[in-house]
Structure formats: structure tokens, C-alpha cells
Structure 1
Amino acid sequence: MHEDACYRAVSSKDARLDGVFYSAVRTTGIYCRPSCPARTPKRENIDFYPTAAAAQAAGFRACRRCRPDVAPGSPEWNLRADLVGRAMRLIADGVVDREGVAGLAARLGYSERHLTRELHAELGAGPLALARTQRAQTARLLLQTTDLGATEAAFAAGFSSVRQFNDTIREVYAMTPTELRAHQGRRNVVHGVIPLRLAHRQPFDAAAVFDFLALRAVPGVEEVVVREGGGGARTYRRTLALPGGSGVAEVDEPAKPQGWLDARVRLGNVRDLTAAAQRLRALFDLDADPEAVAEVLGADPHLGPLVAKRPGLRSPGHVDAHELAVRAVLGQQVTVAAARTLAGRLAARYGVPLPEAGGGLTHLFPSTASLAEADPADLAMPLARQRALRGLCAALADGTVRLDPGVDRDEASAALLALPGIGPWTVSYVRMRALADPDAYLPTDIGVRHGLRAAGSTAEPSSDGWRPWRSYAVHHLWVAAGEAAAAERALRPAKTSAKASK
């Protein structure tokens, strides 16, 4: 970080850098996000830290005004493929809480000492401190938005003891858990439902994300419904297969632009809250930096008009990498509607029923182990694709192919390509959505080709100038292709009428 640039960002209240770094004021002992509305401190009184954990380790507490613990995550962690980036993605998914530092290091293929040294050198905090900061945020959320007791909230947030929980809350927020709960008050607490505010950077094209998810919603597993009293805005609902059990999530499309998405989760095991929240963030691509994307893609003569027309277009990820990989194979050489229908049939046949169905949600998506043994009669697809699906599911189930957040994307791509029936299109689609790679490209995709034609490109352009945001280029081209197809359909009745009149 260049400290002079950081200070200019703090002075201008630049919300684009919220979550990218944190400012700490020595005279008050408080750390903030760059956009904190408080008066800007003098330059000599302010320090900058790459993570909230580093600021806490230096003895600073979170600002109660700007609440830096709910800032969007840094877009750097999806962009980077090195050890630190992969480690941060796993920590965000709650791996340290579930498996400890030893489990995190084992997943990354390094020793605990080397991993801790690398994180300390770059982020100013080790994996335990980074996970502890995340636990504190989860605990605050549980205390202020649910009816869980303090002890239940402590263990649900991932703390190993009540004493550790109490000490951390006092250190991070300068309050006891009881004071923290009373400070903001709890409103509209519904037993078993945890409300979330999922922060993001502006601009955010929410309509496009909800359109994308609605088109691909698997019956019984996902649905998009118009929200009552929402002025036509929608709610996305889906089932979740989480480390500790099942869950259901709902995310509201905002009726007007705002800096967050309202969401609710109902969990079989409340310890899964961290993982559920992070996976929803990945699904809606909430840690993206839309202005950085626009700066690169907007300079392209063909993509520039598309970017200007759709500011803040996101590249949706997924809540379950295995599910997405299966759906990618189901979608090979068929329409989106056909793939969705087949996925729904498999979910009804092999998915685990929810303990309590709600609305159109009835099942979890089938596990790869169950699909690897699926009856061929249930797989309405050519034999070659059946073999590809079975082979993929077997490889995912036994760990031959890994698609967890900390996997090396190039290694995962190579492992997928080695499977029979898995080609470059499938691998790129899995990278883009399951692995949240912002730079995946699908040059052979029919939607991309139609989008290029709609954008006025008469030849296959080089995508090198779109790096490292080629996934966003794909989505802009898909939107352009969809709009062109819709315009063509609208003209057909007029042409038919004109011919009939002749």
C-alpha cells in the first residue's frame, strides 16, 4: 500500500476502497474503513493496515460509526492465485474454524509455519488472527440480530470457549457481549432466521444478476419470486448444502440502489453462518471492483458501449462448486432451459429432501457420490455425456479433482481436462463460476459469438486486452446477445403481419 494514496482515499471518503485497506487513528485507538464519515485525522496521526486483523493486532478497536467489519471484501482475493489469495478464500469460507490452521495448511500444501509467515509478511496477521476477526463479526451479527444466548452465539461463531469469546468482543468492540447486544437493539427477531446485510461496491446491476439466476434456477433447489409489496422487485431463494448441515437462503433484489443486499438464512447448524454468508457473497459477486473492470473493458471499442450501458454488471459465482460442475456438464450442447429441467429431475430423484419444504424449495442438489451411481435411465442425455458426468462425479467424490476455494485454478483445470468428455468450454465455465475466476473466457460459446456480432465485431477479437476481467466481458456479451435475440423476436410479428397484408 502507498500511504499517501491511502490518505487521499480517506480524505475523499472513497467507498471504492472499503475492505481493501483500513485506517487507524493513534490518538483515538480506533480503526475505520476509508469512507468513514468522521472528520479526517491529521496525516501524522493515522496508520494504514491491509486487514482488520492487522489493525486489531496493533491495538485498535472497530469504529462504531462506519462499522469496518461489514465492509465488502477485497477484490484482490478472487483476482490473486498465489498462496495468500488462496488462503484468504479458505479462511473466508470458515476452514480455520472447522479444521484449524493445520487443516488450512494441509489444503494449501504448505507447512503451518510457512503459511503463517507468508500471511504475516503481507497482511500483518496470521491465519488465527484473521479467523478471529471473522468470528468477532459473526458473533456481533448473532448477538444483534438473533435470539441466541451469549454462550450459544459464542460457539456458533466458532469460538472454542466463552472466555475467548468475551475477551475478543471486548478487544474488538470495546464492549461486553451484553453491551454489544443492547447497543443497537434487535428488531423483528424471528426464531431460526438470521438476517444479513451483504455489502457491495457501487454500481451494482442487481437486475442483471437476478435475471441470470432466474433463467438458470433448478426446480426444487432454487426459485426467483416477485416479492410482495416490493414494487416488482424479486427474491432469490435456494437450498444450501453446508459443512454442518442443510440451510435455506433468501436474497432480496433491491427496489432502489443501495450499498448492500438484504438476505436471510435459516440453518440446520448455526455454526455454518460464516460459510453461508461467504457463499452468498460469491454467488452475487459482491466483492468485485466494478470501476476497475469498467476501466479496462470500457477502453475496448466493442465492449465500451456495453459497459457504459450496463454499469456494475457482475459475474455470478456459485454456492457449491460441485453442483456447478455437474450443471456445467448437463448444459453441454443443450439449451439453458433443457439443462435446468434435467437438473431439476435429478434433484427430485437423488437430492436429499429438506426437513421442512418451503415455497418451491424441496431438496438439496444431489451429491456427486449419489450421481456417480445414478441409474442410466435417469440421465436423459447421450451416452458420451453420461460417461462424462459419471466420471466427473466420481472424481469429485473421491477427491481426485478438487474445487474448493483454496485450490490452484490451473491445477484444477488440468485435472478436469484430463477427464473423458470434459472440454475447454466446461473447464472455463467452471473456473468462471465455481472457482470465482474473474479472468475466464469462453471463446467458443455460442452466446459469446452472438454477443460479439451484436456489439459490431466482424472478426474474432483478441481477448488479451480484456485481462484480468474476461469473465465480465463474457457476461456483457451474453447480455448483448440476449437483447439482440429479444429485439429480433419482437420484430417477427411485424414482419409476419406485413407479409400477410401483401
Structure 2
Amino acid sequence: MDEDSRYEAVRSRDGRFDGAFFFAVETTGIYCRPSCPAVTPKRRNVRFFPTAAAAQRSGFRACRRCRPDAVPGSAEWNVRADVVGRAMRLIADGVVDREGVAGLAARLGYSARQVQRQLTAELGAGPVALARAQRAHTARVLLQTTELPVTEIAFAAGFASVRQFNDTVREVYAATPTEVRAAAPRGSGARRAAAGTGIPLRLAHRGPYQAAAVFDQLAREAVAGVEEVTGRPGARTYRRTLRLPYGTGIAAVAERTRTPRPGTGTHPGGWLDARVHLTDPRDLTTAVQRLRRLFDLDADPYAVDERLAADPRLAPLVAARPGLRAPGAVDPLEVAVRALAGPAGAARLVQRHGKTLDAPSGTLTRLFPEPAALAEAAGGTGAPLTALAAALADGALRLDPGADRDDARRALVALPGMDPDAAAVLCARALGDPDVAPPGVQVPDAWRPWRTYAVQHLYVSGELKR
């Protein structure tokens, strides 16, 4: 898009572009999402930015009406396999907060200076500024949805000091942390949770979302002890345990999709209600991003559906299920075990090697085993799975959000006994590659770069069997 087409999107309050870019108004000093319902500014007063961090870096503060920090992530980072795309996925997972810019650069295989230069040149902000914008959003969520003391929120959001936290919140929201807490929107679901009830969240998505198909798949694949799906179709809840950098968590996501109230904007997306219980609040950012990957919430269904609907074979499938998503993963090893051993085999491994939760929640009693635990396990897992766990444990294979997809694909197929179908599943789900076709399935080039979604349509419609 050029700036004129971006302005047309702003004039029409087109929510298809929420998260794809941001606009700021020089006369007010505020930046917004494209679907902001406020009065459309004059073209000469508008500036455009690829990220919220770039707008903040230029001195603009977030709009209190459209809350631009709450938009879905840009779908571009799901598609791109270059260093910028990989960096954005890692920053979203909280790597800069945990390991600093040096850790981010090491994971990418570049120097810190190279990473800084590439991100700043393309996105208008370096890794520190991008992480800082994410911290500010996490802080707002915690301020408006929990009763945690402000000091605890500062460190839970990833800030190094309370002063840094206060300065950032004032700069981004033009308000003190106390004022941000007091400004929680009424009736929006952002009410503060009572102690012990977890952190309520809205997991935003753009465009239509076929929740039933996603929950059907999660229910079919659920690993006992780690996952469960309860309730009747249309009103189900998916619950699971999470192994996180600082502690553990239990997440619950509701099937019913929700849309904004009339008059709050015209963006055609919505959100899934969720609740996360964490042993350490510092894991909130990582937990949210892993749930977003699992539910494929940052996808661009408009781009996917437009390409796939042009094919006569897929057109009726897209018409029947617009916005179909391809679920990802919160743990690449979990996906591998299910692909190689099935849900029942995975459940047996969980009972043998999974760490028991300090406080079980209903049928959720364990964490999925770490790679090292399965690599050391004798027998029962099979050579391919043992080899894969060992490769993940020693770093020979990386399937994290910032992994180089080509390197990971080569390492996967080189593992002894690795099943090609399982390797394809791992590339699509663990790596989030939107353009994967299973071996033996005739997939035309016209479906690129969305072959993962095309195959998902074939599976959900019953044309292909899992």
C-alpha cells in the first residue's frame, strides 16, 4: 500500500488493516488503528507508521478510544521467513525482555548491530523500542484487569525499574499508571479480576473466524492431563497447561467469538474470551503470544480467502467457511509427539515424564515433558521421537518462533526415521509456515503462499483424511 491507499483505509475505517499499519495525527499527537471511529483527520495532518513502536518513537501517544495496542498482530510476520519476520516473532514471545538484544541477535545468527539496523530501516524502530511498546501494552492489560500492586506490574510487564515503567506509561498513554487503571472501559470485559481467578483477556482477531473447526480439531487432538475441551458445540472451552520461562500457567479460551458493540468502530474482526492463571505474572506476554499462535489469531483471512477462492476446487469450501484458521502450537515437541505417537501415546508419555502441577486444575494435572526428559527416556518412544527430542534438547534442531524455516526443515528430514507427513505437520504448526503441503498431496502452485490453509480446507471438508 502507498500512503494514499492507507489514507483511504483510514477514511473508510477499514478494520482489515488493523495491525498492518498505524496512523498518527500531528495536530493531536495521537496515533490510532485504521478503524478508529473518531473523526477522520485531514490528509495533510496524517502520518503513517508500520508499527506502534515507530509511532511512539516519533512522540505520539496511543488513542484512548480505539486502543491501537490491542489490535491483532500483523499477519506479515507469519508469512515472512526473513530475519525481520523471525525477529518480530521472537520479540513477541518476550525474548528481548528475557535475553536482551544480544540474545535476540544470537538466536537470529546476526550481530546486534545488524539486527538493530534492519529493524529500524524497515519498521522505524529497533528491538528495544518494539519490546518497550509490547511492555506498555502488557502493563495496561495488568493494570486494567488485575488487582496487582503497581510495583509488581512494573516488573511483571518486563520493565527493569519502576521509574522506567512510570515514564513509559506516561509517554505512551499520557496518563500515570494509576490513571490508566482508573480508565478501564466500563462494560468492555476489562473489569479487574478477583484474586485467584486469573487474568481475563481478549484475544483479538481480524475478519471472520471459524471457531467451531478450530475447537473440533483441538478436541480431537487433546492430550489427557495437559489439555481438555468441555461444553457443547458453540459454547465449548479449551483449557490447557503451559510451561513458561518463569513458571507455569493454565489457560482457558472460550469458543464463542465476540464482536465490538455498535458505534465502537467498524472493524469486522472480533475476539475470543480467555483467562490465564500464572504462577509468575512475568510470563503473561509469552503466554498470550503462544495462545495466539495456537489459535492462529494473527492471520489475514482476507488475503488467504481471496487467493484460495480463485481456485474452482476451493471456492465452495472458502464460501462455506470464510476465515478458516490453521491451528499452530504452544510447544513444538507436543506437536511432534502427537504426530508420531497419536494423542493416546502422547498421554502415556505425559503420565510417565510430565512434571506434576503444584496445584492441579480438574483434569489438568501435568505439564508436557521437556525435550531433555524425553531424550533421556528409555524405550517406548521410538527412534524418530527420541532423536527429535534429543535434537531439540541440544539445540541441533530449533522449532521456536524465530527459527530459520529452511534450516529447520532440513534438520527435520535428516532425523533418523522421521516420517515425511510428521515433518510437514511440524513445519506447518510448530514453525507456523503458511505454505506447507503434505507429501503425496497434489497441491497446485496457484495456492501459494497459502497451501497450509488450502490443505486445512480439504481436511475440514472431509476431502482429505488426517
Deviation at 1:463, TM superposition (A): 2.1
Amino acid at match of 1:423: D
1:214 to 207, 219, 235: 219
Q: SS of 1:187's equivalent? A: coil
Identity %: 65
1:311 to 319, 322, 338: 322
Kindly indicate whether the alpha-carbon contact (under 8 Å) linking 1:207 and 1:253 is maintained by their aligned counterparts in 2: yes
User: Does residue 457 of structure 2 align to residue 472 of structure 1?
Assistant: no
Q: Superposition pairs for residues 438-449 of structure 1, below 5 Å?
A: 438-444=434-440
User: Does residue 348 of structure 2 align to residue 345 of structure 1?
Assistant: yes
User: Does residue 71 of structure 2 align to residue 67 of structure 1?
Assistant: no
Q: TM-score, normalised by structure 1?
A: 0.88
Amino acid at match of 1:197: R
Deviation at 1:270, TM superposition (A): 0.9
Q: TM-score, normalised by structure 2?
A: 0.94
1:430 to 426, 430, 453: 426
Kindly indicate whether the alpha-carbon contact (under 8 Å) linking 1:24 and 1:46 is maintained by their aligned counterparts in 2: yes
Which entry has the higher C-alpha Rg, 1 or 2? 1
CA deviations 1:310-335 (Å, max 9, x no partner) are: 111000001112222232222xxxxx
Alpha-carbon distance between aligned partners in 2 of 1:318 and 1:257, rounded to the nearest angstrom: 25
Deviation at 1:188, TM superposition (A): 5.2
Kindly indicate whether the alpha-carbon contact (under 8 Å) linking 2:69 and 2:137 is maintained by their aligned counterparts in 1: yes
Kindly indicate whether the alpha-carbon contact (under 8 Å) linking 2:221 and 2:338 is maintained by their aligned counterparts in 1: no
Amino acid at match of 2:29: G
Alpha-carbon distance between aligned partners in 2 of 1:360 and 1:257, rounded to the nearest angstrom: 31
2:195 to 182, 191, 199: 191
Amino acid at match of 1:28: T
Alpha-carbon distance between aligned partners in 1 of 2:116 and 2:161, rounded to the nearest angstrom: 23
Kindly indicate whether the alpha-carbon contact (under 8 Å) linking 2:154 and 2:162 is maintained by their aligned counterparts in 1: yes
Kindly indicate whether the alpha-carbon contact (under 8 Å) linking 1:198 and 1:261 is maintained by their aligned counterparts in 2: yes
CA deviations 1:21-77 (Å, max 9, x no partner) are: 001000100000000001110100100000000000111000000000000000000
Q: CA RMSD in A?
A: 1.5
Paired position in structure 2 for 1:233: 235
CA deviations 1:432-484 (Å, max 9, x no partner) are: 0001111111143xxxx6xxxxxxxxxx4x421100000001110001217x9
Alpha-carbon distance between aligned partners in 2 of 1:442 and 1:5, rounded to the nearest angstrom: 37
Deviation at 1:187, TM superposition (A): 2.7
Identify unmatched segments of 5+ residues in structure 2: 261-269
Kindly indicate whether the alpha-carbon contact (under 8 Å) linking 1:203 and 1:290 is maintained by their aligned counterparts in 2: yes
Alpha-carbon distance between aligned partners in 2 of 1:190 and 1:399, rounded to the nearest angstrom: 41
Kindly indicate whether the alpha-carbon contact (under 8 Å) linking 1:51 and 1:123 is maintained by their aligned counterparts in 2: yes
User: Does residue 162 of structure 2 align to residue 162 of structure 1?
Assistant: yes
The total of aligned residue pairs comes to 451
Q: SS of 2:330's equivalent? A: coil
Amino acid at match of 2:157: A
Amino acid at match of 1:189: A
Kindly indicate whether the alpha-carbon contact (under 8 Å) linking 2:146 and 2:192 is maintained by their aligned counterparts in 1: no
Deviation at 1:162, TM superposition (A): 0.4
Alpha-carbon distance between aligned partners in 1 of 2:346 and 2:195, rounded to the nearest angstrom: 32
Alpha-carbon distance between aligned partners in 1 of 2:17 and 2:257, rounded to the nearest angstrom: 25
Paired position in structure 1 for 2:96: 96
Paired position in structure 1 for 2:462: 481
Deviation at 1:387, TM superposition (A): 0.9
Paired position in structure 2 for 1:355: 358
Alpha-carbon distance between aligned partners in 1 of 2:150 and 2:200, rounded to the nearest angstrom: 17
Alpha-carbon distance between aligned partners in 1 of 2:385 and 2:183, rounded to the nearest angstrom: 52
Alpha-carbon distance between aligned partners in 1 of 2:236 and 2:257, rounded to the nearest angstrom: 9
Alpha-carbon distance between aligned partners in 2 of 1:412 and 1:190, rounded to the nearest angstrom: 43
* Structure 1 ranges of 4+ moved more than 6 A: none
Paired position in structure 2 for 1:289: 300
Alpha-carbon distance between aligned partners in 1 of 2:79 and 2:24, rounded to the nearest angstrom: 26
Alpha-carbon distance between aligned partners in 1 of 2:109 and 2:230, rounded to the nearest angstrom: 43
Alpha-carbon distance between aligned partners in 2 of 1:190 and 1:304, rounded to the nearest angstrom: 47
Paired position in structure 2 for 1:390: 386
Q: SS of 2:407's equivalent? A: helix
Alpha-carbon distance between aligned partners in 1 of 2:151 and 2:135, rounded to the nearest angstrom: 14
Deviation at 1:423, TM superposition (A): 3.5
Q: Which has the higher contact order (CA 8 A, sep 6+)?
A: 2
Q: Superposition pairs for residues 133-172 of structure 1, below 5 Å?
A: 133-172=133-172
